[in-house]
Structure 1
């Protein structure tokens, strides 16, 4: 990869400074002056790249979504067991939740949205879009007669919550350490047991 141009290096330093300032002091308190000082650039340089704090926040969110999108999610397959497929999905999700950069960005984003319904709505909407993959998978499994009748988005939110209760919220809100690979596997298998134990339709059973 070729080295970044000076202007790109300055832009990156501004973004990293903004993330650090938002994390340390909160969105409302952070000023463009503080961001410029932390990035070791002039205030004018900051404004040349980002006209406002909201633009910087939008850049940060874009990086958050890009980080979340780095793990590919496989499509539903009729010839593979639900447990194997769902484990693959959850393992991909867990890799994102175990990414310290992703969690740091999420921590900043959540802090910045607390006092702004507009920013919060953007966050929630984009998060919902990201989790649509699970909803699509559940819908396909239902159409194949392998998952009980339930609103797919509701079921997808349930299984996400089973992971985030251990591998997202404690780290973001309480600064707990990332889960070890062994703990990640335990959380995934437990989520599979709970989800499939209730929703899976077995060939020798009729739906409840």
Structure 2
């Protein structure tokens, strides 16, 4: 959806204002150059990218790869002939978040960077060259670093949530519950004593 919808010609001042607003909400520097029409399109694309990131849908333009994250899975969809040639497949790969043992993030410098999902029992390739052929890795360029960091943050948060377990109920709390059941006449004194002894001896 265009932010400039229903406007045939926008003023230079309005375009400058939209650029300024975008810079305030964006975490990365976006080069918005060209004629007005091109600038409008670039601003619209950047706002669309930001709204998708809020829904945990990320797109790496450099590697033609979309990553979406829900409560259970990381889904990687690769497009383009280069992905087909280097990885031998295109389409969707779903990785169960609970099977991710670690996330390796290499910042781009002279070469591309990558984010790699390490899974239990898998051999993980090292370096950018290995990442180009690893189906659990995604290559990215400097301008896409914010996307990689956001993905890392979301997955680490999901993994932390999964590791939290409900507090174990102490034997004393259990005995109190059974005492209430006894007082309400739901269980007998014999049943209460049996449960109490069982809990105290375990």
Tell me, yes or no, whether TM beats 0.5.
Answer: no
Structure with the bigger RCO (C-alpha within 8 Å, sep 6+) is 1
Write 1 or 2 for the structure with the bigger share of strand. 2
Structure possessing the higher radius of gyration over alpha carbons: 2
Write 1 or 2 for the structure with the bigger share of helix. 1
What TM-score, normalized to structure 1?
0.24
